[in-house]
Structure 1
Amino acid sequence: MTTKVLSVGGSIIAPDAPDTEFLSAFAKMICTWLEENKDARLIFVAGGGGPARTYQNAYKDVAAKFGDTEKKAAAFENEADLNYACDWLGIMATRLNAQILKTVFGPLCKQDVVTDPTAVSDFTGRILVAAGWKPGFSTDNDAVLLAERFNADTVVNLSNIAKVYTDDPRKNPDAKPIDEISWADFRKIVGDEWVPGKNCPFDPIASKKSQELGLTVICAAGKDIPNIRAILDGKNYTGTTIR
């Protein structure tokens, strides 16, 4: 049985609220693909998206309003505590997004949403859906751990960008799209540190683990359904390949 892992960005599932047009089109394509590829199964790992950032920003706003008063809560005392709290808020958002993915696919996904990628021991349906695990990294890292657990050699990272760029194109007009890049060069772009809510093509912690495992990661536009299908079929696609 061939296993493919898709890290589905929360900005695709729920940019602000659940995107029902995307969920419908994505589900139809996936169901058709699974019907045509009976020896394959898929793992989806849901990101937090708009809801995660909404709650994280709300928490930061509340923390700032305490200022340096004596009533300042212990959780606000330093940046590490604040990041830890923000991580948990993001994790909870991923779990809600994962639950709607599981619900959409009905009987194809027989198991509960996975919240610890190191603890899942079996895969009984055609689809397995996972969410955030614990603070310290994003769901990209959970996708990598599940790829390792179920012997997948590629993770498809679906987000709101079609390709990785040499720099942020919104800030640098000279930034160039990348078709293929090594892990060593990619990690120079994203760095080595994870910060909750960080907007980068692939989590730095997940990137390090992927390089160690020799995984291939494909970064592609999550709303381009025909392109996702081309990736699943092993055909020509638009995206950035990291290996």
Structure 2
Amino acid sequence: MAMTDAPPRYKKILLKMSGEVLMGDQPFGIDVNTISRMAEDIADVVKTGVELSLVIGGGNIFRGVSLAGHGMERASADYMGMLATVMNALALQGALEKIGVYTRVQSAIPMDAVCEPYIRRRALRHLEKGRVVIFAAGLGAPFFTTDTPAALRSAEMGCDALFKGTSVDGVYTADPKKDPNAKRYDQLSYQDVLAQDLRVMDASAIALMRDNQIPIVVFSIRERGNFLKVLRGEGTYTTIT
């Protein structure tokens, strides 16, 4: 579908991305071309006047759950994963500011030498001024994935929607990469996701979105320009309400 100049459907959103998206075609780490393209997509959205915040996972660098499964103490492994999200946040901040998008990183684990501590009122003020705010280090506590802080921050910021950028263009009945017969949903309820265990996000994150009546939009972020297209109600995606 061709891009139109339709206005964005939401005024304030949070974008949740997995760290794996930043790898591009690499098996590990951050691909410079991929993160530059992500920055351009984000810049396109910011130019429309949308207030945008982000949460990025750290799985491209370190997965706490995976290492905990191999014998490392879970809390320590999770803290290491949180630090990986800070690295990704700083990398994306650099890519965004290189193309003129003012950005602030706020960490749930205080580290004043590299970024701001998470302060809700300061984050809201940054958004009002048109800055992108990247929330890093999860909740600052172990035993949570980055889904829960994404849901919590979207509620705290008063977001109109949470956009989840993935490698597939929505929510399917099964993994479309493994099952060619998997069917994509256009629309789902929070209860559908929980009852069918569709694993869009953690159950706690889905429940938080349901309680605050914040829709979740699941789309593919790997295609250049798709973020803005979906924000305008175009393209292919799944909406959870």
Alignment of 1:103-118 (within 5 A): 103-106=94-97, 108-115=101-108
Return closer, same or farther for 1:137/1:150 CA change in 2, 3 Å cut-off: same
Letter in 1 for 2:38: F
Alignment of 1:80-95 (within 5 A): 82-95=73-86
Letter in 1 for 2:94: T
Return the index of the structure with the highest Cα Rg: 1
Tell me how far apart the structure 2 counterparts of residues 2 and 171 of structure 1 sit (CA, whole Å).
36
Matched pairs, number:
213
Letter in 2 for 1:48: G
Give the CA deviation at 1:128.
0.4
Aligned Cα RMSD in Å? 2.7
Tell me how far apart the structure 2 counterparts of residues 225 and 92 of structure 1 sit (CA, whole Å).
28
What is the match of residue 240 of structure 1? 238
Tell me how far apart the structure 2 counterparts of residues 118 and 190 of structure 1 sit (CA, whole Å).
32
The yes-or-no answer on 1:47 pairing with 2:38 is: no
Deviant stretches of 4+, over 6 Å: none
Instruction: Give the TM-score taking structure 1 as reference length.
Output: 0.76
The yes-or-no answer on 1:121 pairing with 2:126 is: no
| Unaligned 5+ runs, structure 1 | 64-75, 77-81, 192-199
Asked whether the equivalents of residues 102 and 113 of structure 1 are also in contact (C-alpha less than 8 Å), the reply is no
Give the CA deviation at 1:225.
2.4
Give the CA deviation at 1:110.
4.6
Identity among equivalent pairs (%): 23
2:182 to 172, 175, 185: 175
| Unaligned 5+ runs, structure 2 | 1-9, 110-116
Letter in 1 for 2:23: A
Alignment of 1:29-178 (within 5 A): 29-35=41-47, 37=48, 39-53=49-63, 57-58=66-67, 60-61=69-70, 63=71, 82-106=73-97, 108-115=101-108, 119-122=119-122, 123-124=125-126, 125=129, 126-131=131-136, 132-133=138-139, 134-169=141-176, 174-178=181-185
Write out per-residue CA displacement over residues 162-198 of structure 1, whole angstroms, 9 at most, x where no aligned residue. Answer: 221123345555432211111001112337xxxxxxx
Letter in 2 for 1:151: G
The yes-or-no answer on 1:221 pairing with 2:220 is: yes
Give the CA deviation at 1:99.
1.4
**1 or 2, which has the higher helix percentage?**
1
